[in-house]
A and B are shown apart, each in its own frame.
Chain A
């Protein structure tokens, strides 16, 4: 059954509020999604009923808190088709998850001249950790270029992967919306003897995720873009890799034993979760996963394709040559992220004018400055959609856009 955004909106308390006396038209879910009532309640419930530290106390509250954390891990594992719960590492966000791989697997396995391959459409979270390893270890960073239609240019893939140790790619571009051919890339990486990491931050909230189908070795995503709380992200990795990888941060929770001479590490996944984990946040993410599963990820994706198609048609029909929407033109080939330029007006000014009508879009480089250089601009306006958006939100965007003319078009 198709999603009904009208009913879904009722699940999101923030949708009741007004902005500048207007209805909230939230089109920035690629930055962060709103939270449905069951997620907010789960976090509150945790603090009200069984707040305590995990994996330590022998009292009832601690047992319940530990069970809640591990239950959240099970839910996330099921949601992405992980074969074991212990393959789910809780991190602060996707950025930390990617850094975890760079700092542990990378440091243990990479040396001077070892190639790591990324693409021109990566978020800074999947660029800077590798730049840091270039500075530290002298690895070689290689870039898969993008074509003008927003898809990756795979013409030279074999050459780029020659000798590579890791291919790390966003499943969906946070700027262009491009859905990358992850399975094809993973197979090519493996054929070349490289591992495959997927930044699924813009994928897992919007499409059914199956890590086995992706063919990946590492998958990173974040909770707050998929109806969950901030402060909780996920690294999924194959068990055999996690077993071999050295720990990430050192401290409590990640140890088996500590002496004056040294330490031994706890089992996976706790080996990578030093310190008190984000328990309430993990519980909230578990509730978010339940919520999305209740909607059905196939339906979430169908809704996104339909709404993206409507948005592309509406904006193009209404504004023609006055608007440039970057990225693939086919809704089936893209997520619900629309980066656009309107009449040469700077995106900050566009976003400022839209705000007056309660329309929230992001303006800037979207943490993808290398991609901006390829696109030949310093910034874009970006409207991004989710389960609570419908055609009326697209119409509100289209209507408010014309207001920019008053100030900027003579």
Chain B
């Protein structure tokens, strides 16, 4: 069995105990998306404010396990201030780290070369791959952010 220490890395537990960017934003100008993991009931709510192609602010809410909460927190810290294009590259790189095949119907998942992208703290979530059931906990916030961004782009 893989070590639980690979899953529950200190940096993950730190984001779980002290989440960054937890809260809400006014909609509008922000857009809001909800994500559910139907298997376990985890819920993530993402608020994102995009202006001129840049993620100016992001907050998250909802409830879930340490992995889903920490992943939301780490994602919010990683994408705040980045362009939507950079986000797509990060998202792609994160999904490859999670061993998720690119979706041919989703250009965002096949754009960019993930090898060039620095994941930084997000690398800590790599251990989740050894616990396949938990991969969805880690990717839920990214799916939800993608929805929120699409919403923002549709309304801008």
Interface residues of A (CB under 8 A from B): 20-21, 346-349, 352-353, 356, 363-365, 369, 372, 378-379, 407-408, 410
| CB-CB nearest in chain B for A369 | B41
> Other than the known A347-B65, A378-B41, A379-B40, what 14 A-B pairs have Cβ atoms closer than 8 Å?
A20-B1, A21-B1, A346-B65, A346-B69, A348-B40, A348-B65, A349-B8, A352-B7, A356-B4, A363-B40, A365-B40, A378-B43, A407-B13, A408-B66
Q: A346-B65, A348-B67 in contact; A372/B4 too (CB < 8 A)?
A: no
The answer to whether A364 and B66 have CB atoms under 8 Å apart is no
| CB-CB nearest in chain B for A410 | B17
A353 to B3, CA, bound (A): 10
A97 to B7, CA, bound (A): 41
Chain B, residues 30-57, CB within 8 Å of chain A (1/0): the string is 0000000001111100000000000000
Main secondary structure of the interface of B (DSSP, over half): mixed
B63 at the interface (CB under 8 A from A): yes
Give chain B nearest CB distance to A334 CB in angstroms: 23
| CB-CB nearest in chain A for B66 | A349
With beta carbons under 8 angstroms apart, the residue of A20, A352, A378, A408 that contacts B134 is A352
A372 to B42, CA, bound (A): 12
Interchain residue pairs with CB less than 8 A apart (9):
A346-B64, A347-B65, A352-B7, A352-B134, A364-B39, A364-B41, A365-B40, A378-B41, A378-B42
Give chain B nearest CB distance to A373 CB in angstroms: 10
Give chain B nearest CB distance to A351 CB in angstroms: 9
A356 to B131, CA, bound (A): 12
The answer to whether B4 and A353 have CB atoms under 8 Å apart is yes
The answer to whether B66 and A379 have CB atoms under 8 Å apart is no
A364 to B65, CA, bound (A): 10
The interface centre, meaning the residue of A21, A346, A369, A378 with most chain B CB atoms within 10 A of its CB, is: A346
Give chain A nearest CB distance to B115 CB in angstroms: 31
The answer to whether B8 and A407 have CB atoms under 8 Å apart is yes
Give chain A nearest CB distance to B60 CB in angstroms: 15
The answer to whether A407 and B4 have CB atoms under 8 Å apart is yes
A353 to B5, CA, bound (A): 11
